[in-house]
């Protein structure tokens, strides 16, 4: 952009106009997907999924008996407050799925120290005996070949529960669906029922992941405006992807069949982005025969909040940088495609092009749209600045961006409907500020979108001491 704005400013001006039109059309296209998923979400929230699950199982003898389906929940955690862990367990207690078919593993890290062990003791004393199994584990530090983080801890937890509960009780692997939850994940009472419904009705249940919609709203009223916009932006992207299941990969809290986990050897332990890597592990291992089934159903987690504003902004950046580090999956994917000759070429091309384009867009689109459109005017010289195109460029781009703001307005309205019950101090006029906060979206797309993505991808390219380890997002509640 800088070089061409100096050498051929007219070409760059035309490119900027065309790119803005492309972004406008894409915004409209994705807005339809957002609305579609939002309507599906509202509809699904009104359904008695346990009754529907029982009816499906009893009316179709070719499907597994729902009463034999176990839910295995993995809760890896570091040093999050006891109150956060307790809320997640209470959500499972309040679910309507039979507790004798639920197994929970709470996995701490040895390096977290005494505070994590104290939390484990409190959870065990309060919830032991209320499920088919409650196992607590401690992931050792400094294991050879591991990066300390969720992936290595989850593998440790899964192997331990297999050894200590699943195998001794002879529970068939094909009857277990594993939900990997962040420690702040809260579910609604119907969640495990809709998950089991999708599992037993899936055309290829053992070769599918199951993805809910992540809502970062547990503490949303404590979050500053910028943090709220970033949180909802992440949710909206996942909602748009739910309407395009052919492009959906696993993200954050999700579910996967235990039988498949055993066959692929669980999560890899030397990476940061385990939530998305498990999709690529399965896709490559099963020769391209793996898909993600959207649940169109929410789970809630914490927004990124710290006691002070600047600390919140710093944590937001680090969290987005860790998510952008998922670009480490690109070389893993391409290498796997080269080695596995059984994956159809069409599948390889589809995922390679879409994934690379996605990470490239993540790091560049908002900069191109909001920050670099003025370059031809600055670097193009007098011959360009005296042209009609130079005069028209700002007017045309401003008009296109005004039209594109319709998408931001629709996002703002949907965000209000997704808010949890308001606290006592919240007044009706506060909704106005929660709508107005979306004027910060261009700023957040650059500071908490493009910049952390560029840093993550640059670090990945440089390698060595520039590589990122797993950064644990601190949890804070008033």
CB atoms within 10 A of CB 386: 10
What confidence score (pLDDT) does residue 411 get?
A: 87
What confidence score (pLDDT) does residue 374 get?
A: 87
What confidence score (pLDDT) does residue 190 get?
A: 96
What confidence score (pLDDT) does residue 217 get?
A: 93
Q: Please check the confidence at residue 14 and state whether its pLDDT lies above 80.
A: yes
What confidence score (pLDDT) does residue 141 get?
A: 87
Nearest alpha carbon to residue 194 among 261, 105, 95, 99: 95
Please tell me what DSSP assigns to residue 65: P
Q: Is domain 49-313 annotated with CATH 3.40.50.300? A: no
CA dihedral (456, 460, 465, 467) positive or negative? positive
Q: Please check the confidence at residue 476 and state whether its pLDDT lies above 80.
A: no
List the structure tokens of 69: 């389906």
Break the chain down into helix, strand, coil percent, rounded to 5: 65, 10, 25
Return contacts of 334-338, CB within 8 angstroms, 24+ apart: 336/280, 336/283, 336/284, 337/284
Band of residue 261 on the pLDDT scale cut at 50, 70, 90: very high
How many angstroms separate the CA atoms of 6 and 291, rounded?
Answer: 46
Write out pLDDT tens, residues 19-49: 999 999 998 899 999 999 999 999 999 999 9
Tell me the chain's radius of gyration from C-alpha atoms: 24
Q: According to DSSP H, which parts of 265-344 are helical?
A: 274-285, 309-324, 329-339
Q: Of 476 and 221, which is predicted with more confidence?
A: 221
How many angstroms separate the CA atoms of 385 and 252, rounded?
Answer: 48
Band of residue 269 on the pLDDT scale cut at 50, 70, 90: confident
List the structure tokens of 354: 């879409």
Reported in sequence order, the residue ranges of 20-89 that DSSP labels E, i.e. its strands, are 70-76
Q: Cβ(150)–Cβ(274) under 8 Å? A: yes
What confidence score (pLDDT) does residue 405 get?
A: 82
Q: Give the burial string for 18-46 (b: 16+ CB within 10 Å, else e).
A: ebbeebbeebeebbebbebbbebbeebee
Q: Please check the confidence at residue 370 and state whether its pLDDT lies above 90.
A: no
């Amino acid at each position: 952009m800088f070089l061409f704005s100096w050498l051929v400013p007219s070409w760059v001006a035309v490119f900027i106009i065309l790119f803005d039109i492309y972004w406008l059309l894409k915004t409209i296209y994705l807005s339809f997907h957002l609305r579609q998923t939002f309507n599906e979400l509202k509809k699904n929230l009104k359904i008695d999924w346990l009754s529907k699950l029982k009816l499906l199982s009893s009316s179709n003898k070719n499907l597994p008996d729902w009463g034999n389906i176990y839910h295995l929940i993995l809760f890896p955690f570091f040093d999050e407050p006891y109150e956060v862990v307790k809320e997640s367990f209470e959500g499972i207690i309040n679910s309507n799925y039979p507790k004798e078919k639920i197994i929970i593993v709470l996995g701490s890290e040895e390096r977290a120290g005494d505070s994590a062990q104290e939390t484990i003791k409190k959870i065990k004393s309060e919830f032991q005996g209320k499920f088919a199994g409650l196992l607590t584990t401690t992931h050792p530090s400094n294991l050879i070949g591991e990066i300390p983080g969720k992936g290595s801890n989850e593998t440790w937890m899964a192997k331990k529960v297999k050894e200590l509960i699943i195998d001794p009780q002879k529970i068939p692997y094909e009857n277990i669906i594993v939900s990997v939850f962040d420690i702040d994940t809260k579910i609604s009472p119907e969640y495990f029922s809709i998950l089991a419904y999708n599992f037993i009705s899936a055309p290829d249940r053992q070769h599918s992941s199951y993805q809910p919609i992540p809502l970062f709203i547990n503490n949303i009223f404590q979050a500053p405006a910028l943090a709220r916009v970033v949180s909802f932006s992440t949710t909206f992207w996942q909602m748009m992807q739910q309407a395009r299941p052919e492009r959906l990969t696993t993200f954050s809290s999700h579910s996967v069949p235990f039988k498949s986990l055993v066959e692929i050897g669980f999560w890899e332990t030397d990476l940061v982005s385990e939530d998305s890597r498990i999709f690529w592990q399965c896709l490559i291992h099963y020769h391209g025969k793996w898909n993600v089934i959207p649940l169109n159903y929410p789970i809630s987690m914490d927004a990124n909040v710290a006691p002070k504003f600047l600390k919140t902004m710093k944590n937001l950046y680090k969290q987005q940088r860790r998510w952008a580090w998922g670009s480490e999956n690109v070389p893993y994917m391409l290498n796997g495609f080269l080695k596995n000759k059984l994956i159809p070429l069409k599948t390889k091309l589809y995922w390679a092009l879409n994934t690379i384009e996605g990470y490239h867009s993540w790091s560049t689109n908002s900069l191109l749209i909001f920050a670099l459109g003025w370059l031809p005017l600055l670097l193009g010289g007098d011959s360009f600045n005296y042209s009609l195109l130079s005069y028209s460029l700002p007017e045309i781009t401003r008009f296109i961006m005004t039209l594109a703001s319709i998408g931001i307005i629709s996002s703002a309205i949907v965000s209000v409907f997704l808010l949890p019950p308001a606290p006592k101090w919240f007044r009706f006029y506060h909704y106005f500020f929660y709508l107005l906060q979306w004027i910060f979206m261009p700023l957040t797309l650059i500071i908490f979108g493009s910049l952390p993505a560029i840093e993550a991808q640059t670090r990945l390219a440089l390698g060595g001491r520039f590589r990122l380890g797993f950064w644990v997002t601190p949890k804070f509640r008033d």
